[in-house]
Structure 1
Amino acid sequence: MSSPSERGPFPDENLPEGSVVDGSQLSEAFEDEADYVVVGSGAAGAVAAHTLAAAGHSVLICEEGPWVRTREFTEDIDSSFRNLLRDNGLQVLRGRAYMPMLQGRVVGGSTVVNSAIAWRMPEDVIDEWRRDFGLGDAITMKDLEPHYEALERDLGVHPVDETVLGENNRLFIETGTKRGFEPQAMRRYERACQGSSRCIQGCPNGAKQGMNVTYVPWTLAMGGRIVTDARVERVVVSGGRAVGVQARSKSGARILLRARLGVFVAASTVQTPNLLRRSGLRSRALGENFQAHPGQGFGALFDKPVDMGFGATQGAESIHFRTSHRFKLETISMPPELATARVPGVGAELSKRLSQLGNVGVWVVQFRSEGKGRVGTTWGGADRVTFSPTAGDMERLRTAFAAIATMMFDAGALEVWPGI
């Protein structure tokens, strides 16, 4: 496999002159103005910015994190987490137990570090929202269909190709099929995936079609601008209308971005409520009813090579239990530094297992929780998210854990490590 330096140019290179303002390099106050200001450059913000620019509007994007270019992505987990993830990857959901919560803090947001999974909203979920929250015909699958098609076309969404499936994913599909769990290859937004299993460190090949190599560069090509390494402190409101944002760069410089027509806040489920609070919005509902799809990985030592170092990071799934038990089963490949954390034991026992790391695979339970949490802040102003699953969630999780452990033993696992 050739190295990234031997390929290119990548879409995040050779950008229009003046289109990127690096906040880490600002030595004095900075001001700019556009029709619209978009806070955040992840899946929501980047698409919103591109849509506005395509309609002929001038657009300014403000991103808290840096722009780490494709050629700068590295295999090293420590530097990747420091450069790409919020709180160095140590952010957690607080409740009866602490659960990791990974968020990208980089141009492209979490699309840079996730596994490129592209899922349409299931129609039964839309029906549930319409029934439970009185949405009526405000959101229908028919309305969403052309937008899904456009996104999938732009981002090259398709099932993982057999050539880059890898043994971890292949083993999952073969075993799930025998069990009647109807597994399938993941649909992902990528073009020419090389199976490097490095999604979480940023795709080194420019294959994953994250916002950093698609909608953000496309927006800049249409005249948009982006300020990176700049944390928005508040939305400026005048006469009941958002007219801009105040931010502070990584270097400490004050930033004012004025918006002639409006401000789009796309700072994620966590950062958006807290930004709105800092901006003076008062609502009892703000930050309430946080929900997520927590997951739990199971490691296993198989009787055959798995080689998580090759294959789509997450390339196979089963939705057999989605409607009946609210969970799905899927795969995930991990770099050695993370995979070793799944390996139990001490001393000679641990050493023996680590010597067999090539036979280790990791599969995951993801569940749609009924539990609800809250997004708030600590006394010091840092983000704080509380969440605990319900008793019903825990009962369904037990079913999920049994299903995935059984699959692993069926696939030839000598040992299964729940990691809980």
Structure 2
Amino acid sequence: MEQADVLIIGAGASGGVAAGALTKAGFNVVCLEQGDWPDRAGYPAQRETYELEARKQWSASPNIRQNPADYPVDDSHSAVAPLMYSGVGGSMILYAGDWPRLLPSDFRVRTLDGVADDWPLRYADLQPFYERTDAAFGVSGAGGDPAYPDGAEPPLPPLPIGRIGARMATAHDKLGWHWWPAAQAVLSAPHQGRRPCVQFGSCMQGCPEGAKASTDLTHWPAAVAGGARLLTGARVARILMSANGLATGAEYVLPDGSWHSVRAGVVIMAANAIGTPRILLNSATPAHPDGLGNSSGLLGRRLMVHPFANVTGYFDEDLESWRGHVGAKITSYQFYETDTDRGFVRGAKWSLAPTGGPLNAALPTRAGEEVWGPAHHEHIRRHLGRTISWGIFGEDLPDEENRVTVGTGLADSSGIPAPRIDYSVSENSRRLLDFHIARATDSLRAAGARDVATESLMRYSGWHLLGTARMGADPATSVVDEYGKSHDIPNLYIVDGSVFVTSGGVNPTSTIAALALRATEHLIANRRNQPVPA
């Protein structure tokens, strides 16, 4: 049986950050990861078929991809399909690398807008950890963005904004609207032995260059070299508990069907906002009949996913809009803060991204049945390289009816109960997206678009999974404290996106990494006072 000071479940963004800090501090660390180490040589960006493979073998939906390491998710009761990836590096393997921070107002939504809840910390509490994780992941960007408080410059200069970024920046200057080169966890220059981005434009199917940051590249090699044991193909069934109410480790199954366990003094959950509640709910005991750490009844509730819209402008000239990193060329926070005259609260971030290559332009949904045949060539000429797209990430306010549950009859290939997602889009989110779609349309028209098309509330857009084990000071209304420690089980921690109190309107990975570092360093600093099983 494996023994460890600390057991981490999940080797993605937060698990990698936690392992790096713990190993450096001298802790004996074991991590259980149900996926495997990724093989950059196998990423599809180098193949002509990569845009086809993105729809099946490299889909971000585990229900479509169906890798052996995946578990099924019942999303038939959800308006948005959850997207995630199992493996060392986690969903960072398939994320776009967009690396914004939450804004200061995001931590004070109840105070400012009278809805949701305030976080038990503020932007200033997290800013030093944002800056340190920027350095660790090799973030490219431009300092001085007026949307944020002053702070350290990103460690690397911004990536090229390309023709589409320049076109939209000029339009926003004329409108008097905010824009800024987007911060990206993608290298613009060599950094810590990694090569810079070569603008493949296929970030979301794995970066074969290794320029896009993921913890399999940035954190796990050093952690393993420092003694951490990373067990891949290890699917966790449940957390084990002692008679005196402490976590003692976890039970897991390997691909050959054999069952094993790890004993540990502290257990850290880092399996994302679906995987973490799934395991904790599946770990119910007579002392914890509703799942571990669930005395508040909020475990699995308040799922937030960022309702998403895409607004695309069509231009007469070739703008090479297939080229470059996918996360964002430029970003806009012009309409991020609440204006009650709009009929909703909170706002959204806009990201300007490439619009894909020839297969993406040719295939449904963009092509549709009506343009097959003689009209197809004209359709490709209209789309390929001549479109500019604003991606709109709207804030998703917490709702206790949006939730993750287990025990509905669906199971993975090991017989472990799989999660069900119940999620509906709120009226506030719908009004928010409608407003932002209209303003993004104005933006594209100002840039000279001759036509504009919209895709709103896209089903396969559940990249950002947040909020199912929220942090807070009151055990009656939260699952963990501001450092991710369970109110109910003092040696059980959660460090992934589950702990978000509100979602903000930005991509969350930067905040997940910063929170994980803050929580882990607090655990390290307070090690002498940490209860552990005998």
TM-score, structure 1 as length reference = 0.83
Could you tell me how far 1:371 is from its partner in structure 2?
5.5
Determine if contact 1:371/1:390 at 8 Å carries over to the other structure: no
Aligned with 2:23 (options 53, 64, 78): 53
Partner amino acid, structure 1, of 2:173: T
Gaps of 5+ in 2: 67-72, 143-156, 188-195, 339-345, 411-416, 457-534
2:391 is equivalent to residue 364 of structure 1 = yes
Determine if contact 1:371/1:393 at 8 Å carries over to the other structure: no
Determine if contact 2:158/2:182 at 8 Å carries over to the other structure: no
Q: Secondary structure at the match of 1:56?
A: coil
Distance 2:452 2:166 in 1: 18
Q: Identify the residue that residue 333 of structure 2 maps to in structure 1.
A: 319
Could you tell me how far 1:83 is from its partner in structure 2?
5.4
2:46 is equivalent to residue 32 of structure 1 = no
Q: Secondary structure at the match of 1:292?
A: coil
Q: Secondary structure at the match of 2:235?
A: strand
Question: Which deviates more, 237-246 or 80-89?
Answer: 80-89
Distance 1:174 1:196 in 2: 25
Q: Identify the residue that residue 114 of structure 1 maps to in structure 2.
A: 95
Q: Identify the residue that residue 393 of structure 1 maps to in structure 2.
A: 429
Determine if contact 1:42/1:111 at 8 Å carries over to the other structure: yes
Q: Deviations over 1:202-222 (max 9, x none)?
A: 111111121110111121121
Determine if contact 1:176/1:318 at 8 Å carries over to the other structure: no
Distance 1:195 1:392 in 2: 37
Q: Deviations over 1:42-88 (max 9, x none)?
A: 11111111111111011111112221132322222455653574334
Q: Identify the residue that residue 376 of structure 1 maps to in structure 2.
A: 405
Q: Identify the residue that residue 277 of structure 1 maps to in structure 2.
A: 281
Q: Does the C-alpha gap of structure 1 residues 310 and 94 become closer, same or farther in structure 2, counting only changes over 3 Å? A: same
Determine if contact 1:92/1:101 at 8 Å carries over to the other structure: no
Q: Deviations over 1:233-269 (max 9, x none)?
A: 111112321111111223433232221x111011101
Distance 1:301 1:417 in 2: 8
Determine if contact 1:164/1:194 at 8 Å carries over to the other structure: no
Could you tell me how far 1:334 is from its partner in structure 2?
4.6
Determine if contact 1:301/1:415 at 8 Å carries over to the other structure: yes
2:197 is equivalent to residue 193 of structure 1 = yes
Q: Does the C-alpha gap of structure 1 residues 294 and 89 become closer, same or farther in structure 2, counting only changes over 3 Å? A: farther
Partner amino acid, structure 2, of 1:321: F
Could you tell me how far 1:154 is from its partner in structure 2?
1.3
Q: Identify the residue that residue 19 of structure 1 maps to in structure 2.
A: none
Distance 1:353 1:187 in 2: 33
Determine if contact 2:93/2:206 at 8 Å carries over to the other structure: yes
Aligned with 2:380 (options 354, 357, 366): 354
Q: Identify the residue that residue 261 of structure 2 maps to in structure 1.
A: 256
Could you tell me how far 1:150 is from its partner in structure 2?
1.3
Determine if contact 1:66/1:229 at 8 Å carries over to the other structure: yes
Report runs of 4+ in structure 1 exceeding 4 Å deviation.
77-81, 89-95, 129-136, 160-163
2:456 is equivalent to residue 410 of structure 1 = no
Q: Identify the residue that residue 68 of structure 1 maps to in structure 2.
A: 38
Distance 1:232 1:219 in 2: 21
Could you tell me how far 1:89 is from its partner in structure 2?
5.7
Q: Does the C-alpha gap of structure 1 residues 244 and 207 become closer, same or farther in structure 2, counting only changes over 3 Å? A: same
Determine if contact 1:114/1:200 at 8 Å carries over to the other structure: yes
Q: Identify the residue that residue 131 of structure 2 maps to in structure 1.
A: 149
Question: Which deviates more, 173-182 or 397-406?
Answer: 173-182
Q: Deviations over 1:157-184 (max 9, x none)?
A: 2317566322333333232332222111
Could you tell me how far 1:134 is from its partner in structure 2?
7.8
Partner amino acid, structure 1, of 2:97: A
Q: Secondary structure at the match of 1:417?
A: strand
Determine if contact 1:316/1:330 at 8 Å carries over to the other structure: yes
Q: Identify the residue that residue 342 of structure 2 maps to in structure 1.
A: none
Q: Does the C-alpha gap of structure 1 residues 93 and 301 become closer, same or farther in structure 2, counting only changes over 3 Å? A: farther
2:366 is equivalent to residue 342 of structure 1 = yes
Q: Identify the residue that residue 301 of structure 2 maps to in structure 1.
A: 288
Q: Identify the residue that residue 177 of structure 1 maps to in structure 2.
A: 173
Question: Which deviates more, 208-217 or 358-367?
Answer: 358-367
Q: Does the C-alpha gap of structure 1 residues 129 and 56 become closer, same or farther in structure 2, counting only changes over 3 Å? A: farther
Aligned residue pairs total 387
Distance 1:67 1:204 in 2: 14
Determine if contact 1:326/1:369 at 8 Å carries over to the other structure: no
Partner amino acid, structure 1, of 2:436: A
The structure carrying a bigger strand percent of its residues is 1
Q: Does the C-alpha gap of structure 1 residues 175 and 149 become closer, same or farther in structure 2, counting only changes over 3 Å? A: same
Q: Secondary structure at the match of 1:103?
A: coil
Could you tell me how far 1:232 is from its partner in structure 2?
0.9
Determine if contact 2:186/2:212 at 8 Å carries over to the other structure: yes
Determine if contact 1:167/1:311 at 8 Å carries over to the other structure: no
Determine if contact 1:233/1:247 at 8 Å carries over to the other structure: yes
* Identity, % of aligned positions: 24
Could you tell me how far 1:133 is from its partner in structure 2?
7.8
CA RMSD across the alignment = 2.7
Q: Identify the residue that residue 210 of structure 1 maps to in structure 2.
A: 214
Q: Identify the residue that residue 494 of structure 2 maps to in structure 1.
A: none
Q: Identify the residue that residue 330 of structure 1 maps to in structure 2.
A: 351
Q: Does the C-alpha gap of structure 1 residues 174 and 376 become closer, same or farther in structure 2, counting only changes over 3 Å? A: farther
Q: Does the C-alpha gap of structure 1 residues 98 and 175 become closer, same or farther in structure 2, counting only changes over 3 Å? A: same
Distance 2:18 2:224 in 1: 13
Q: Secondary structure at the match of 1:407?
A: helix
Determine if contact 1:165/1:312 at 8 Å carries over to the other structure: no
Q: Identify the residue that residue 98 of structure 1 maps to in structure 2.
A: 79
Partner amino acid, structure 2, of 1:330: S
Distance 1:121 1:188 in 2: 14
Q: Secondary structure at the match of 1:195?
A: coil
Q: Deviations over 1:104-154 (max 9, x none)?
A: 222111222112222223222223368878878x52333322212211121
Q: Secondary structure at the match of 2:140?
A: strand
Could you tell me how far 1:363 is from its partner in structure 2?
2.0
Determine if contact 1:297/1:362 at 8 Å carries over to the other structure: yes
Q: Does the C-alpha gap of structure 1 residues 393 and 94 become closer, same or farther in structure 2, counting only changes over 3 Å? A: farther
Q: Does the C-alpha gap of structure 1 residues 401 and 140 become closer, same or farther in structure 2, counting only changes over 3 Å? A: closer
Distance 1:35 1:236 in 2: 15
Partner amino acid, structure 1, of 2:175: R
